[in-house]
Amino acid sequence: MLKKLKEFWRRHFYGILAVKLIALMLFFTFFVPKYFTPIVVKLPCFSAYGLERVRNTIGVISTLICVFIIVFPIYYSEYKEEKAKKRLLQRTLFDYQKKHQSYVDLVQSVLAKPEYSTIDLDEKWVKDFDLYIQSLAQICKSSRFDFTDFDVASCLMCALMSVFSRTEKRSCSFAFECVRTLISEPKAYEISFLLGDEAVLETIYSYQKVELSALSSTYGNAWFLATLESCFYSKALRHSSTLTFVSDFFNMLYWQCYK
């Protein structure tokens, strides 16, 4: 609940600030001078200044205080946001691996299989994976779509494919093997964004497990791989559309097996 309130505050910061600005301006412009002027003018050191002059002085001072109260939170919020973004840009490969440790372990478990043990996998795939997760999470959040393991699988598949040469014939087969578990046992996530717009996923429910092997006998693995390869290497598809297309393709595979 507290996390949701923090995200709501951050997402609607300027709207809330506008309401507070109006309230503060009304308070400092009308209430403060009207209430405090009769009190201040009775003081010996201010009695010679007159009611109107004291009211105007209090009005100016209260306006300056109001401006400070409004400007400081804006400046401080922007400062924290920029600091968070700078910290994210300074992350090392180890930081990315630690953040996505469960997916790193998944890839390593597939890489340990005899048929893939000779594959030379560039470890920078995890940085691309983080970038794709951030990108697709933003799209799903703005479009009010559920973010699921079909999306995660798409990001992982594309991240792995991005570090392989097109001459590596096993690249698509290896990448699909890495995402197979995610597709057959998918979860849905709630997206929240921390400072710096870093996406955080929290599981909200799980789908029923299915057996993808049922489709192999119908379509064959070659059809899976050919479809994914044509999508990934297609020049007609941009970065974000490739992610969403592959995600929709995995979604379709799951529901074909669910029947």
Phi, psi of 96 (to 5 degrees): -65, -40
- For residue 128, give the nearest of 82, 86, 93, 169 by alpha carbon: 93
By mean pLDDT, which of 42-51, 64-73, 208-217, 249-258 is the weakest? 42-51
Q: What is the pTM of this model?
A: 0.69
Residue 201 forms beta bridges with which residues?
191
| Contact indicator for 171, 182 with CB cutoff of 8 Å | no
Pair of tokens at residue 259 = 């029947």
pLDDT for 161-210, tens place per residue? 888 877 777 888 888 889 988 999 999 998 887 766 778 888 899 999 88
Q: Which are the contacts of 228, defined by CB distance < 8 A and separation ≥ 6?
A: 157, 172, 175, 176, 246, 249
